Amino acid sequence: MRETFRKYYEVRPFGDAVRYLFAFAAASVLARGIRNRKHRFFQQGVGSIDRHIITEGYFEKGTLEVMRKLITVTGYRNQYLDIGGNIGNHAVALSDLFARVDTFEPHPVLFKVLDANIAVNAISNITPHNFGLGNEDTTVTLVESNVEHGLSKVADRSALQDSVFQFDPTNDRKTFAVKIRNAMDVLGTMPDLTKTFIKIDVEGMEQEILETIEPTIAAHRPIVSFEWFSKEQPGLMDFAERQKDYVFFGIECHDQGSNKFLRALKIILGGRYCSFQPVQRDAPATFYTLAVLVPKEAADGLLARMNEA
């Protein structure tokens, strides 16, 4: 008589089996596409950055295309400073354009993923730094969003409200003690900042960093870009206007809004696209994936060159 043993289900019959087959099939289709991509990324798959990378290959793919065109037509290809590197999406995607890339990420977990993404893509010109930048050398508390590991802010120093980060006050948040260093001192160790492109995406600390490196901006005249929530960060408009020898542009993606259904409808009807345009002093967009300060000598005829096919 054959013995009956307990069944330890990996997949249960009927509904669970149908779910499994569809989910595995969809993942297999995505995997086939991922194998053929130029770059591969380690990621958790739970945040929007991860999901964009899984489905599209990169996060902010449209913004990256604008950046690539801007870097190419201006020739600012000596060095790329990625302040707020996260898992390396921008640094890895744009690394082929530059002689040298330095990326700064204080989050202890994301930094390890960043380092792994550099290694898996065999990129030799990126130097990762496991600290953030600010106006002093100190240790601060980094608070991570409950639903988006890519939305971490430095407590008491971010200009952005909790609602921007989807923080739920009823749930525990992960916190990390991280190091930040004086941005002016760090940039002072760089070998050559001419023809440099700087990107700052630090969830509300953009103004602190920009004001700290203002003398470097004046001396070396890099292209400077930063994520900008214009209503929450009005001081960044004042900063931009102080840069008298610069022209202020913005990269704006055109599916913005809090209503997810309407955003999805916009994408279905018109696609998801970004544009590069001057920032209007009295009517800036609500959000720029990057606001961009371009030296006047590089801005001459820039819009025409950016709009060329």
Over the stretch 116-172, which tens digit does the pLDDT of each residue have? Answer: 999 999 999 999 999 999 999 999 999 988 777 778 899 889 998 887 776 766 666
Query: Please, what sign has the CA dihedral across residues 216, 219, 224, 229?
Result: positive
- Helix, strand, coil abundance in the chain, percent, nearest 5: 40, 25, 40
pLDDT band, residue 194 (cuts 50/70/90): very high
Distance separating alpha carbons of residues 164 and 150, to the nearest angstrom: 12
pLDDT band, residue 263 (cuts 50/70/90): confident
Alpha helices in 177-290 (DSSP H): 183-187, 206-212, 214-220, 235-242, 260-270
Q: What is the pLDDT of residue 99?
A: 96
pLDDT in tens, 53-86: 998 999 999 999 999 999 999 999 999 999 999 9
Nearest to 39 by CA among 63, 56, 22: 56
Q: What is the pLDDT of residue 85?
A: 96
Q: Hey, what domains does the chain have and what are their CATH numbers? A: 15-130+184-306 (3.40.50.150)
Mean pLDDT throughout 85-114? Answer: 97
Tell me the pLDDT of the chain averaged across its residues.
Answer: 91
Distance separating alpha carbons of residues 38 and 143, to the nearest angstrom: 33
Mean pLDDT throughout 239-246? Answer: 96
Question: What percent of the chain has a predicted confidence (pLDDT) above 70?
Answer: 96
Q: DSSP secondary-structure letter at 146?
A: S
Nearest to 236 by CA among 198, 279, 185, 193: 279
Question: What percent of the chain has a predicted confidence (pLDDT) above 90?
Answer: 71
pTM of the entire predicted model: 0.92
Residues 6+ apart with CB under 8 A from 26: none
